Amino acid sequence: MNDQPLIVVLGATASGKTKMAVQLAHALKGEIISADSRQVYRGMDIGTGKDLNEYKTKDDAVPYHLIDIVDAGDKYHVNNFIEDFHKCYHKIKSAGKPAILCGGTGMYIHTLLQNYQYTGIPVDPNMRANLTGLSREDLIKRLSTYPKQYTVHADQSTVKRLIRAIEIAAYLERHGLQNEQHPQLSALVIGLVDDVVQRRAKIESRLDRRLAEGLVEEVAGLLARGVTTDMLEFYGLEYKLTVQFLNGMLSFDTFRAQLFTQICQYAKRQMTFFRKMEKDGVHIHWFQADTPAEVVQKALLDNFL
């Protein structure tokens, strides 16, 4: 199994990624690594959709990693994820097992698969302030003043990305690149997709289930334990709007309606990001979200593994 590629299961929220990954892991005797930017937090269970019961099959429990590893109220970034992933991945592969990466945080997955070296370079607010307002042509000229080894991989497609490219080039010119390098991963990427009507129906059903399971009470408990309103709003979506509901800023009906709308918008953004990943060279093998796991498994075994 040591030469088997990393299997990645991705898709928009509510597409059934976890269920599919667990069934594949059970069949292949593998372990799951989560690629969800919020499931790392302890005590944030309902709002992040951990659904830990899904990791259990009728025969046993599938091992999982990078869930419940950070206290709620802390911050966890893509660089933390990359380092933690490689530690877990090495451990799983050393045991002779396949690893399955599962999640919907596209930036985490994309950064990992493309082995980007620059994610840890800090933002320079002063430089960004000075560059904001310049035309794309002016930014390209500015970028060309830096050594080519710092700009050769720069994305010049938008003003925003040009500004980040200049920020990176300026940093590298001063400091060089100190980040630990990791080997390029061999990955087999599976994507689950619903049509829009199905996706919205799944999102609504899951939202009502989470509300019934105690989403509001979970957020109230986090506030009671000292997690700040600012941090909960930083975590976004369910947490941000639930805080507003608890503070009396939204009626329950408005809270539910806005949350449903924003989760649907988030799912759309996820799919847009996955399409960008494909344009950047990540090959995603798409399956309808309701495809039985045994069908996906057979396709993997017959064609890829």
Could you tell me the CATH number of the domain that includes residue 189?
3.40.50.300
244 and 260 together in one domain: yes
Same domain, 268 and 146: no
Q: Are residues 195 and 52 in the same domain?
A: yes
Task: Identify whether residues 140 and 76 lie together within a single domain.
Answer: no
105 in a labelled binding site? no
Report pLDDT for 70.
96
Q: What is the dihedral of CA 21, 22, 26, 31, to 10 degrees?
A: 80
pLDDT at 303 over 80: no
**Residue 15 labeled ligand binder:** yes
Model pLDDT for residues 200-241, shown as the tens digit of each residue: 999 999 999 999 999 999 999 999 999 999 999 989 889 999
Choice between 24 and 115, residue whose per-residue pLDDT is larger: 24
Q: What is the pLDDT of residue 58?
A: 77
For residue 197, how many other CB atoms are within 10 A of its CB? 8
Which pLDDT tens digit goes with each residue over 48-86? 999 999 998 777 899 999 999 999 999 888 888 999 999
**Cα(190)–Cα(125) distance, integer angstroms:** 38
251 annotated ligand-binding residue: no
| Ligand-binding site membership of 43 (annotated) | no
In a domain? residue 77: yes
> Are both 154 and 228 inside the same structural domain?
no
Rg value, the chain, Cα: 21
Phi, psi of 225 (to 5 degrees): -85, 0
Residues 46 and 135 in one domain: no
209 in the same domain as 291: yes
Is it the case that residue 113 has pLDDT exceeding 80? yes
Q: Please state the domain count of the chain.
A: 2
Mean pLDDT of 31-35: 98
Average pLDDT over residues 102-113: 91
The verdict on 159 and 193 lying in the same domain is no
Determine whether the annotation assigns residue 96 to a binding site.
no
1 within some domain: no
- Do 161 and 218 fall into the same domain? no
Please indicate if the annotation marks 17 as binding a ligand: yes
Query: What pLDDT score does 117 carry?
Result: 65
Q: What is the pLDDT of residue 1?
A: 43
Asked if residue 243 belongs to a domain, the reply is yes
Q: Tell me: the pLDDT tens digits for 258-286?
A: 999 999 999 999 999 899 889 888 999 99
pLDDT digits (tens, 9 = 90+) for 4-17: 899 999 999 999 99
* pLDDT at residue 2 greater than cutoff 70: no
18 is in an annotated binding site: yes
Place of tokens 């950070």: 70
pLDDT tens-digit readout, 86-96: 999 999 999 99
Q: How far apart are CA 274 and CA 15, in angstroms?
A: 14
Strands, E assignment, the chain:
6-11, 31-34, 41-42, 64-65, 70-71, 99-102, 187-193, 284-288
Same-domain status, 139 and 204: no
Per-residue pLDDT of 157-186, as tens digits, reads 788 889 988 998 998 888 766 556 677 889
Say if residues 232 and 222 touch (Cβ distance below 8 Å).
yes
For residues 272 and 161, membership in a common domain is answered with no
The answer to whether the annotation marks 14 as part of a ligand binding site is yes
Residues 168 and 79 in one domain: no
Domain that holds residue 262: 6-116+181-303
61 in any annotated domain? yes
Residue 79 belongs to a domain: yes
End-to-end CA, the chain: 10
